[in-house]
Amino acid sequence: MNRQPMNRLATDGAMTRDTPRGPSREEGLPGLVADWGSDQRVFKQVPWGKAMMWLFLLSDIFIFACLLVSYMTVRITSTDPWPDTSEVFALEMGGQHVPLLLIAIMTFVLISSSGTMALAVKYGYERNRWATALLLILTALLGATFVGMQAFEWTKLIQEGARPWGNPWGAAQFGASFFLITGFHGTHVSFGVLFLLIMTVKVARGSLDKQRPGFLTGRKGRYEMVETLGLYWHFVDLVWVFIFAFFYLW
């Protein structure tokens, strides 16, 4: 690290720190600090809505992490054996016994919806109103399909005797964790679908092009909103991958 000459104090007003600061020319840690702490905005070219969504997702990651770690803990402490998930979540298909069939389709649907969402963001920035609206409604439909299949899965398990406090296959914590984690994730997807539908309406009627103020917030419509919503949607999909890996495959 280069030491500044001592006479810098006397010449550039370091005592009062009232000299202007341009872009950092320093290297190493001081340069890093100067860049991160730079004027007005930490993340240049990032609208506040997007920054705020990233912060929310960071917080939400901690919630899902706590849920998954708690599930792992009770899986270890439970006194009864843990049910075989590939058997519990198997379907009879044309006389064939297919493990995890429904979950595989659900995962495929949800991951596909991330693709349509990404395209919606792209067309949004190209100001292609109808393509954006179409892709948004497609994303919402795929999300709703996912929630529908989850409802089917819940119904099937409940009919087979699974309850939050017990189930026919083994440790009671299996049902508890299952309903808690998939329920919490399903709530996220459902809210996502709701917001996607609202955003579709906004895009289709041109609120984002005309910068019409929002009904509740009074904020002007912008196409960045599509990307912000996209961030949330991709996050919900990503979390599902972890739930799939740790709850269904393990």
Partner 1 sequence: MGEREYDASYQAPPAEVGEMELVHPRTFIGKYIWSQDAKVIAVQYMLTATAIGLVALVLSLVMRLQLGFPNTFSLIDPAEYLQSVSMHGMIMVVYLLTAFFLGGFGNYLIPLMCGARDMVFPYLNMLSYWFYLASVLILAAGFFVPGGASGAGWTLYPPQAISEGTPGVDGGIITMLVSLIVFIAGFTMGGLNYVATVLQARTRGMTLMRLPLTVWGIFMATVLALLAFPALFVACLMLLFDRLLGTSFFLPEMLGMTQEMAREGGSPILFQHLFWFFGHPEVYIVALPAFGIVSDLIATHARKNIFGYRMMVWALIMIGVLSFVVWAHHMFVSGMNPYFGFLFATTTLIIAVPTAIKVYNWVLTLWRGNIHFTLPMLFAIGFLFTFLNGGLSGLFLGNVTVDVPLSDTYFVVGHFHMVMAVAPILVVFGAIYHWYPKITGRMLDETLGKIHFWVTFLGTYLIYYPMHFIGLEGVPRRYYAYGETTFISESVQTLNAVITVAALVVAAAQLLFLFNLVWSYYRGREAGPNPWHATTLEWQTADTPPPHGNFGKELPVVYRWPYDYSVPGVKQDFIPQNVPPQAVEREP
Residue ranges binding partner 1 (CB under 8 A): 10-11, 13, 15-21, 33-34, 36-44, 46, 48-49, 51-52, 55-56, 58-60, 62-63, 65-67, 70, 73-74, 77-80, 164-166, 171-173, 175-176, 180, 184, 216-220
Using alpha carbons, list the distances in angstroms from residue 45 to 25, 48, 50, 208, 224: 21, 9, 10, 19, 12
State which amino acid sits at residue 24: S
Q: Which residues contact 45 (CB under 8 A, 6 or more apart)?
A: none
Q: Which residues contact 11 (CB under 8 A, 6 or more apart)?
A: none
- In angstroms, what is the minimal distance from the CB of 68 to partner 1? 10
Written as six digits, the tokens of 131 are 């393509």
- In angstroms, what is the minimal distance from the CB of 120 to partner 1? 23
Of 65 and 158, CB closest to partner 1: 65
Written as six digits, the tokens of 129 are 């109103």
Of 100 and 171, CB closest to partner 1: 171
Of 86 and 187, CB closest to partner 1: 187
- In angstroms, what is the minimal distance from the CB of 221 to partner 1? 12
- In angstroms, what is the minimal distance from the CB of 117 to partner 1? 22
**Residue 93 host element (H or E):** strand 91-93
